[in-house]
Amino acid sequence: MASDSRADLKTGTLTLDGKTYSFPIRWGTSGPPVMDVGKLYGTTRIFTYDPGFSSTASAESKITYIDGDNGVLLHRGYAIEDLVAHGDFLETCYLLFYGSLPTPAQKADFDNRVTRHTMVHEQMARLYHGIRRDAHPMAVMVGVVGALSAFYHDSIDISDPHQRMVASMRMIAKLPTIAAMAYKYSRGEPFVYPKNDLPYAANFLHMCFSVPFEEYRVNPVLARAMDQIFILHADNEQGASTSTVRLAGSSGANPFACIAAGIACLWGPAHGGAHEAVIKQLAQIETKKRVPEFVARAKDPEDSFRLMGFGHRVYKAYDPRAKLMRQICHDVLKETRADDPLLEIAEELERVALADEYFIEKRLYPNLDFYAGLTLRAMGFPPSLFTAVFALARTAGWIAHWMEMIADPHQKIGRPRQLYTGYARREYVPIGRRD
Ligand code: SDX
């Protein structure tokens, strides 16, 4: 872990109008220290200002550590490379929830508890029929996941640890079913019930791709790839959607509503929506020959165009997940014998961008989204479903952060302030006297 030469730093000071204020510096296990400015406003009547939270730690957490400069991602201290190579998604869920890798007995029990909750209330199916079939699957996910609290009232009391765990297991178990139902509904195909004799990722493929008129056999190579893709998407520290879940949870909202809020935030093209945006952009580039044209646009300060799947607020080196996803992408394309012309464009785009001064200077590398879309497309998913796949996997991280926030004895509602630049007090003019 990168050590910091300032390890003896214990206090930060701020001098205002000749008066000096001291604030404690807190060090974590790894990564930059924080200056605790919780008492700043109370002692100086001044707010900090950091609208994108680029310099702000919003929470203390033990779940995930990212070293963006060195491309390191750890979940409860375990490297993402090891979890993807040796574990499965439900093991990662257990690790994120409970903080340690499960014993064989704990894993068997956790898998069984998830399996026993994969079905949704039969009446939930009717919710889909109230939505247009050409609705975006993420619109369906936001609505249906939010509606879970209308069906599972017995697990929304957040003060009850048992109910918190029941709600958490229900979401891990039911999100794949809900996402698969959104996919089937968009295709006008009948919903497919989960099969308890299939492992988690295989069950999701079964619910998405099996049809009544022929036997569907899950391809074990694709099932393994799907499970690894879920692990890669499980958590990534205090990203926008995770922060949304924490903020929603800080008001005491029920867990289903908090996860629905996270899904809504993830949908944006700057975040999880980039999965879909990458494919659209690669198709827009059309051929390798046009790659320089689009790289030039991405560099043009007058052009708002950005390379989708590139750049990251924290990873200023190659996103470790993107490296793993690139390998999975090649494995899936080989297994499906899919010859995707977009892959050639993506690899040329990566080659040109990584050699370009602008991207080097701004430390812009491919992120998780860059190869994820190509992989999911080769597995048979339409681009509109990519972010729903991201959401079902990220539910593990969202729940872990929600649990951590709820269990924090010092937790209180998140309520930021602002820099007000609007009008000062104005006299009201009755409408009859306005010209
Ligand atoms: C995810 O937070 C997480 O952990 C997110 C995520 C997760 O697992 O939850 O990792 C998942 O959301 C990955 C990101 C997916 N989004 C995209 O691929 C969309 C394209 N990327 C960009 O929009 C951007 O890089 C962001 C949104 C990802 C990060 O934006 P930042 O941190 O606010 O960076 P920035 O906009 O301040 O960019 C710094 C500079 C800017 O230039 P200057 O203003 O300094 O001149 O880099 C430029 C930007 O213009 N830049 C890009 C670019 N990304 C940043 N230029 C061209 N193409 C890009 N993709």
User: 368 CB under 6 A from ligand 1?
Assistant: yes
How far is ligand 1, taken at its centre, from the CA of residue 312, in Å? 4
User: 232 CB under 6 A from ligand 1?
Assistant: no
Q: Check residue 3 and give its pLDDT.
A: 57
Closest CA to 83 of 68, 64, 69: 64
Q: Model confidence at 224, in pLDDT bands (50, 70, 90)? A: very high
| Protein residue with its CA nearest to atom 8 in ligand 1 | 236
- Active centre residues (catalytic): 312, 369
d(CA 103, CA 37): 41
Would you say residue 376 has pLDDT above 50?
yes
User: 311 CB under 6 A from ligand 1?
Assistant: yes
The sign of the dihedral angle between the CA atoms of 206, 110, 97, 84 is negative
| Protein residue with its CA nearest to atom 37 in ligand 1 | 313
Which ligand 1 atom is the nearest neighbour of the CA of 237?
4
CB 113 within 8 A of CB 90: no
Q: Check residue 1 and give its pLDDT.
A: 44
pLDDT tens for each residue of 227-264? 999 999 999 999 999 999 999 999 999 999 999 999 99
pTM of the model: 0.95
* Helix (H) or strand (E) segment spanning residue 376: helix 368-378
d(CA 139, CA 247): 21
User: 325 CB under 6 A from ligand 1?
Assistant: no
User: 312 CB under 6 A from ligand 1?
Assistant: yes
How far is ligand 1, taken at its centre, from the CA of residue 307, in Å? 9
| Protein residue with its CA nearest to atom 40 in ligand 1 | 362
Which ligand 1 atom is the nearest neighbour of the CA of 367?
13
Average pLDDT of the segment spanning 272-290? 95
Which ligand 1 atom is the nearest neighbour of the CA of 233?
8
| Protein residue with its CA nearest to atom 55 in ligand 1 | 311
Task: Give me the percent of the chain exceeding a pLDDT of 70.
Answer: 99
Task: Give me the percent of the chain exceeding a pLDDT of 90.
Answer: 95
Encoded tokens for 415: 């309520």
User: 364 CB under 6 A from ligand 1?
Assistant: yes
User: 26 CB under 6 A from ligand 1?
Assistant: no
Q: Model confidence at 336, in pLDDT bands (50, 70, 90)? A: very high
Average pLDDT of the segment spanning 37-53? 96
Average pLDDT of the segment spanning 322-327? 96
Would you say residue 2 has pLDDT above 80?
no
The sign of the dihedral angle between the CA atoms of 74, 77, 83, 87 is negative
| Amino acid at the residue 414 | G
Quickly count: other Cβ atoms within 10 Å of residue 228's Cβ. 23
Tell me the CA end-to-end span of the chain in Å, nearest whole number.
67
* Helix (H) or strand (E) segment spanning residue 63: none
Return the bridge partners of 192, or none: none
Q: Check residue 340 and give its pLDDT.
A: 87
- For a mutational test of ligand 1's pocket, the pick from 229, 231, 307, 310, i.e. the residue with the most ligand atoms closer than 8 A to its C-beta, is 310
Return the bridge partners of 75, or none: 64, 78
Which ligand 1 atom is the nearest neighbour of the CA of 301?
46
153: region left, alpha or beta (phi > 0 left; psi from -120 to 50 alpha) = alpha
pLDDT tens for each residue of 55-94? 999 999 999 999 999 999 999 999 999 999 999 999 999 9
Q: HSE (CB half, 13 Å, CA atoms) of 272?
A: 28
| Protein residue with its CA nearest to atom 26 in ligand 1 | 312
- For a mutational test of ligand 1's pocket, the pick from 271, 294, 361, i.e. the residue with the most ligand atoms closer than 8 A to its C-beta, is 271
Using CB atoms within 10 Å of the CB of residue 287, give its burial: 0 to 12 exposed, 13 to 18 middle, 19+ buried.
exposed
Closest CA to 395 of 250, 214, 272, 268: 272
Average pLDDT of the segment spanning 1-27? 86
CB 6 within 8 A of CB 27: no
How far is ligand 1, taken at its centre, from the CA of residue 299, in Å? 13
Using CB atoms within 10 Å of the CB of residue 410, give its burial: 0 to 12 exposed, 13 to 18 middle, 19+ buried.
exposed
Encoded tokens for 11: 């206090």
d(CA 175, CA 146): 11
Closest CA to 96 of 175, 172, 162, 158: 172
Main-chain dihedrals φ then ψ at residue 244, nearest 5 degrees: -65, -45
User: 71 CB under 6 A from ligand 1?
Assistant: no
